[in-house]
Structure 1
Amino acid sequence: MGTDTEIEGQIAQWRGYMLRRKGVEQSDVDELEDHLRGRVADLTEGGLRPDEAFLIAVKRMGSVDEVSREFAREHSDRLWKQLMLTGDPDAPADTARRRELLVMIGCAALAAVGIKLPMLFGVGFDDDASFYVRNFGLFALVPLTVYFGLRRRVAGRTALALAAFFIVGAVGANVYGLADDSQSIVLSAIHLPLALWLVVGLAYAGGDWRSGQRRMDFIRFTGEWFIYFVLIAMGGGVLTGFTAGVFSAIGLDPETFISEWLIPCGALAAVVVAAWLVEAKQSVIENMAPVLTRVFTPLFALTLVAVLVAIAVTTNAIDVERDMLILFDLLLVVVLGLVLYSISARDHAQRTGVFDWMQLALVVSALLIDVLVLIAITGRITEWGLTPNKSAALGENLVLFVNLAWTAWLYVSIIRGRKRFATLEKWQTDYLPVYAAWAWIVVLAFPPIFAFA
């Protein structure tokens, strides 16, 4: 009798795990439970104890994640049903999803309205474009942080810390009174969103930023969010073209509506909507970022090798003008992104193979390009002196160099069997605060250091 009760308890626990998977419905769990009980009965009749039979039966059915993914593939229409929140309105899961939808709509509306609020005080897009450039990170990321704060139900102390970061960002963006043509205003506009994005990560982690796993979760989220945002932007481009055509057809000039309402309000709202889509489809289908990593890693590796060969053959130095430096830095960031998403989707027990050698080639190529960029920047600084642009570029490339160099070393150690992939993952997640620190330095310290130039 005691054994039967124990088995029933294990089955009930297994059933509870299955019901919490978004790709599996109650009818599916009922069917799976019938199969599970049948296998337990067969194994018990074969001479196994009930607890042994249960463990073997569960193992043969596959892990919870595997079963969830299989149901998601076979019933892909459920993804859309879940995202649109159809179903029994009295069901707890549907009630929770409806609440999440309302939170998303509220935060997206906050983003759309927020970008227009300065107009009430006479600050329009045409009158003071630099104001919107300086504060774009605040307009875009405050509503997103509110969304995650509400979704994660962050503690009061965490909420105060989040608010403090955004207040500091607002002060750094506006208190210095920088000229519209100053280098510092451009640097602030670029680095403030980067600094605040990691503040969003604090809200995403529910305040538990010390957890390496939560940091890796946020890295995964960032990749998925970017993909969804690009897809929404592409759809928005089609909508914008359609709107322009319709307005023109009825004799109205659509330029003002599109430039001052549709694009800014739509883009800011899409920041929140993309985050909601990532959250809504978790555990339902495979993530896209790791899949794209498999496609683009060899392509980027070949491209970087080709760039190095071209530099060696032509002996041309790398152009260190601002636009080119931004391009090279973006390239290095993409390389690190490919490494990160490869790590995030990897089974750490899996043996190294050809793809790992491709990753090593990619990292080493990026490291060599970063060295060439650093040499070029150092040469220009030696010749012409320090400027905000060159100093920011030097610091950023040094930060990237340290990460790439240690990543390459860890990859070599992993391929040689001396270290585990978990070490590389920990290195990447532990390094995130370094990026945040440098971004805040550029935003807050560079303007006074360089006399607000």
Structure 2
Amino acid sequence: MTEPVKPNIAESNYQEGILVFGLAFAAALLIKLPSFFGIDLDQNDGFYIRNLSLFVLPILSGYFVWKRRPDTRILPWLALSFAVALVFANSYPFEPEGHTEALFAMHLPIALWLIVGIAYTGGQWNKAAERMNFIRFSGELFIYYVLIALGGAVLMGFMAMIFQTIDIDIEPFFESWVLPCGAVGAVVVASWLVEIKQGIAENLAPILARLFTPMFAIVLITFLGTLLYTGQPLEIERNVLIAFDLLLVVVLGLLLYSISARKHESPPGLFDIILIVLLVSALFADAIALGAIFGRITEFGLTPNRVVALGMNVILLINLVWSVVLYIRFMRGRALFSSLEKWQTDYIPVYAIWATIVVIIFPPLFGYI
């Protein structure tokens, strides 16, 4: 039976909830602020794509600074990081709808997410346990955000239906206000929901990881088997590259959240074998993708997308290789399970560093095309 929530805890959550919804409202106002200066969403989509993370991540970091009370010496560095990102996002002369602008927009949130992590850990990023807590938080945030988005979609659907009965089209209102404001505000609200539920119930991310790990293993094995049987070459186009990298990131995510839910002292079991199969399959898939990328570069030359894909796949390959090595050593009793956890948490800055390189160096390197 669930114990009743203590009054002081309930009051604290209520007060924090007021603050969080105030911050969500501030994020919503911030994303609409440019339109008051003539920068409308429908006419300046490049501006909003580049700056999207800057409308909400500084506010989210501010929430964690308020909640964690870190050493004040890190605050100027947090502020400076977001200020520098703001300058780069709005000073580079990108070609409209160019490749480097799209790469910038995709990688800036990855680079800034490390800054959010530093705020989340209260400046204690050097501790592996705190980094793992941030990884758990990130997974839970994604789940809650998706749930809020699905609920919002249902709400908007009902609103459109009932207003249609009186011949009022509210689609422009959705596109101009509800969608952008809700998108950024929901990040803050979802983060708060993750915070207040910690310790109350088992996290959803590890449960989903255990559920989907065997399924992803089967899919990858089937794909590799079909590829070998048919002898079909891997067609590496832009969308395929993105999908492939997302698949590998999901595999590493399944590993991370399986690690987070596992007791270190537990002996190796069937699920550990399934994880190793998944990692090895992903390793082969990544190697095949790298071969295809090299082939495209050799045949057609360097482009921003191909270089980014090459770098990202190399980074993922290194992570996968050493993860397999550490996991096999653990299975054979030659290493502690904590070494695998430490490797994964230590590797997080690598992704942020690569994203920062893509954000700062790639646009001028490729002429902002």
The TM tier, using the shorter chain, reads: over 0.9
1:424 partner letter: L
Map of 1:12 onto structure 2: none
Mapped to 2, the partners of 1:118 and 1:372 lie a distance apart of 44
Counterpart selection for 1:195 from 104, 111, 120: 111
SS in 1 for 2:302: coil
Counterpart selection for 1:358 from 262, 271, 274: 274
1:140 partner letter: V
Map of 1:266 onto structure 2: 182
Q: Deviation per CA, 1:43-101: give whole Å up to 9, x if none.
A: xxxxxxxxxxxxxxxxxxxxxxxxxxxxxxx228x5xxx6xxxx74xx3x234223311
Map of 2:195 onto structure 1: 279
Does residue 1:291 correspond to 2:214, yes or no?
Answer: no
1:117-128 alignment, distance < 5 Å: 117-128=33-44
1:390 partner letter: R
Mapped to 1, the partners of 2:55 and 2:234 lie a distance apart of 35
Per-residue deviation at 1:301? 0.3
Map of 2:254 onto structure 1: 338
Does residue 1:98 correspond to 2:14, yes or no?
Answer: yes
SS in 2 for 1:295: helix
Per-residue deviation at 1:263? 1.1
Mapped to 2, the partners of 1:294 and 1:95 lie a distance apart of 35
TM-score by length of 1: 0.80
Contact 1:107-1:146 within 8 A present in 2 as well: no
Per-residue deviation at 1:440? 0.2
Bigger mean CA deviation after superposition, 193-202 or 434-443? 193-202
Per-residue deviation at 1:419? 0.7
SS in 1 for 2:278: helix
Does residue 1:301 correspond to 2:181, yes or no?
Answer: no
Moved over 6 A (4+): none
1:94-243 alignment, distance < 5 Å: 94-243=10-159
Mapped to 2, the partners of 1:324 and 1:152 lie a distance apart of 41
**Aligned-residue identity in percent:** 50
Aligned-residue CA RMSD in angstroms?
A: 1.2
Q: Which has the higher contact order (CA 8 A, sep 6+)?
A: 2
Mapped to 1, the partners of 2:56 and 2:240 lie a distance apart of 26
Q: Which has the larger radius of gyration?
A: 1
1:368 partner letter: F
Q: Deviation per CA, 1:6-39: give whole Å up to 9, x if none.
A: xxxxxxxxxxxxxxxxxxxxxxxxxxxxxxxxxx
Per-residue deviation at 1:205? 0.5
Mapped to 1, the partners of 2:311 and 2:215 lie a distance apart of 28
Mapped to 2, the partners of 1:445 and 1:231 lie a distance apart of 36
TM-score by length of 2: 0.97
1:265 partner letter: C
Per-residue deviation at 1:367? 0.5
1:448 partner letter: P
Per-residue deviation at 1:155? 3.0
Per-residue deviation at 1:305? 0.2
1:4-43 alignment, distance < 5 Å: none
Mapped to 2, the partners of 1:95 and 1:75 lie a distance apart of 18
Map of 1:41 onto structure 2: none
Does residue 1:402 correspond to 2:322, yes or no?
Answer: no
Mapped to 2, the partners of 1:322 and 1:435 lie a distance apart of 20
SS in 2 for 1:319: coil
Mapped to 1, the partners of 2:236 and 2:289 lie a distance apart of 7
1:378 partner letter: F
Mapped to 1, the partners of 2:31 and 2:94 lie a distance apart of 21
Map of 1:252 onto structure 2: 168
Per-residue deviation at 1:127? 1.6
Mapped to 1, the partners of 2:267 and 2:61 lie a distance apart of 39
2:63 partner letter: Y
Mapped to 2, the partners of 1:320 and 1:187 lie a distance apart of 17
Contact 2:46-2:97 within 8 A present in 1 as well: no
Q: Which runs of 5+ in 2 are unaligned?
A: none
1:287-436 alignment, distance < 5 Å: 287-436=203-352
> How many equivalent residue pairs?
369
Mapped to 1, the partners of 2:71 and 2:262 lie a distance apart of 33
2:130 partner letter: R
Map of 2:2 onto structure 1: 75
Mapped to 2, the partners of 1:172 and 1:322 lie a distance apart of 25
Mapped to 2, the partners of 1:95 and 1:158 lie a distance apart of 30
Contact 1:100-1:151 within 8 A present in 2 as well: no
Contact 2:121-2:130 within 8 A present in 1 as well: yes
Mapped to 1, the partners of 2:197 and 2:97 lie a distance apart of 43
Mapped to 2, the partners of 1:202 and 1:250 lie a distance apart of 50
2:296 partner letter: R
Mapped to 2, the partners of 1:96 and 1:342 lie a distance apart of 32
Q: Which runs of 5+ in 1 are unaligned?
A: 1-73
Mapped to 2, the partners of 1:146 and 1:316 lie a distance apart of 51
SS in 2 for 1:179: coil
2:213 partner letter: T
Mapped to 1, the partners of 2:76 and 2:22 lie a distance apart of 21
